[in-house]
Amino acid sequence: MNTQVLIDTARALVADDKGLLAMDESNPTCNKRFAALGIAQTEDTRRAYREMIVTTPGLGECITGAILCDETIRQHLKDGRSFVTAIVDAGIIPGIKVDTGTTPLAGFPGESITEGLDGLRERLAEYAQMGARFAKWRAVVAIGDSMPSEGCVDANAHALARYAALCQEAGMVPIVEPEVLMDGGHGIERCFEVTREVLRTVFHELRLQRVNLAGMILKPNMVLPGLTCPTQVTQDAAADATFRCLFTAVPEAVPGIAFLSGGQPGEVATARLQALNYWFKSKAPWALTFSFARAIQQPAMEIWHGDEANVPEAQRALYHRARCNRDARQVDGTPAS
């Protein structure tokens, strides 16, 4: 393992106020989003959609890294280039989602565990050979009556740490994504407590598995009230709770925190990212960045609608959301001296 390469890649992924674009939806998830818009759900429509994304003019001005799924990394653009080549040509670092999805956790009704460790060393070697320089694994934690359980949090944190160690062995930067879901009527304080506990457990496991914290990126949820909680909060309050939570749980050695959007409307996710940077950029030991899927892609997918003729307009919408998120990182509330 070349530690300096890992550190350099991790730093590059969070540099220059840019962020990550997650475009690694599994086939069932991508199909579900297509079906909701009346778009055909075929291998070629998924390919064409992702070709629209990676050929967006200027995307590399806002995006450092793009996360692909297994299907896309094996596909090609109409001009014959592989997706990896097209992404590199756009000045973007290619990454790959390597978990194989979630499954119910035995003995814990309503909770899930993320799978994909079996054979991961070999899969990572193949992806590295194909040009991927970083990877992603998403664990999912739900809040509810007596959830999350310690068993669920522990099992998912352990799997994340095993995955991260294997990535670093393969020379790839692990994106460590423990997502506390927004579903539920819980208040922001409950999300704060659960997120803090999950992050502390994840970092305990990462240390046990000897993961180099300077060569990874954390991809957490923002700290927010549940979707059906009657008490919603301002952007500033969400930013404050999120920063306080992360500050008590995330070691300084981690170069960057790249938030997921988790189903927040695009503009709202951007506003919260902006509030985080406005209030905390100068205090935070890590970059506060983004790794959004829906919050960048959704308007573009709606405009594209499976029709080649809509590509330029869809690309303008995609660029706009990516640019807004880059701009959100460029604010900083430090008073001028």
Binding segment (CB under 6 A) for ligand 13P, from list 5-13, 293-301, 304-312, 323-331: 293-301
DSSP class per residue in 135-161: EEEEEEE--BTTBS-HHHHHHHHHHHH
Please give the DSSP secondary-structure letter assigned to residue 244: H
DSSP class per residue in 42-100: SHHHHHHHHHHHHT-TTGGGTEEEEEE-HHHHT-B-TTS-BHHHHHHHTT-EEEEE---
Nearer to ligand 13P, 155 or 296 (CB): 296
Question: Is 219 one of the catalytic residues?
Answer: yes
Using CB under 6 A, pick the residue from 165, 295, 317, 318 that binds ligand 13P: 295
For residue 117, the minimal CB distance to ligand 13P (Å) is 17
- Which one is catalytic: 51, 111, 177, 179? 177
Q: Does 98 bind ligand 13P (CB under 6 A)?
A: no
Q: Does 294 bind ligand 13P (CB under 6 A)?
A: yes
For residue 245, the minimal CB distance to ligand 13P (Å) is 18
Helix-strand-coil percent breakdown of the chain, rounded to 5? 50, 15, 35
For residue 326, the minimal CB distance to ligand 13P (Å) is 16
Do strands 112-115 and 101-104 pair parallel, antiparallel, or not at all (unpaired)?
antiparallel
Using CB under 6 A, pick the residue from 95, 174, 255, 262 that binds ligand 13P: 262
Contact status, residue 69 vs residue 75, Cβ threshold 8 Å: no
Nearer to ligand 13P, 261 or 315 (CB): 261
Q: At what angle do helices 188-208 and 235-249 cross, to 10 degrees?
A: 30
Binding segment (CB under 6 A) for ligand 13P, from list 47-55, 76-84, 237-245, 255-263: 255-263
| 183 three-state secondary structure | coil
What is the footprint of ligand 13P within residues 106-145 (CB under 6 A)?
138
For residue 102, the minimal CB distance to ligand 13P (Å) is 11
**Tally of CB atoms within 10 A around 187:** 16
> By C-alpha distance, which of 81, 56, 80, 78 is closest to 66?
56
Structure tokens at 178: 């423990």
- Give the containing element (helix H, strand E) for 289: strand 287-292
For residue 18, the minimal CB distance to ligand 13P (Å) is 16
Binding segment (CB under 6 A) for ligand 13P, from list 101-109, 149-157, 165-173, 256-264: 256-264
Binding segment (CB under 6 A) for ligand 13P, from list 54-62, 238-246, 287-295, 314-322: 287-295
Question: Is 32 one of the catalytic residues?
Answer: no
Q: Does 293 bind ligand 13P (CB under 6 A)?
A: yes
The residue type found at 74 is R
Q: Does 292 bind ligand 13P (CB under 6 A)?
A: yes
Using CB under 6 A, pick the residue from 124, 260, 287, 300 that binds ligand 13P: 260
Structure tokens at 285: 């030991």
Residues of the shown chain interacting with ligand 13P in the complex, contacts defined by CB under 6 A: 22, 138, 177, 260-262, 292-295
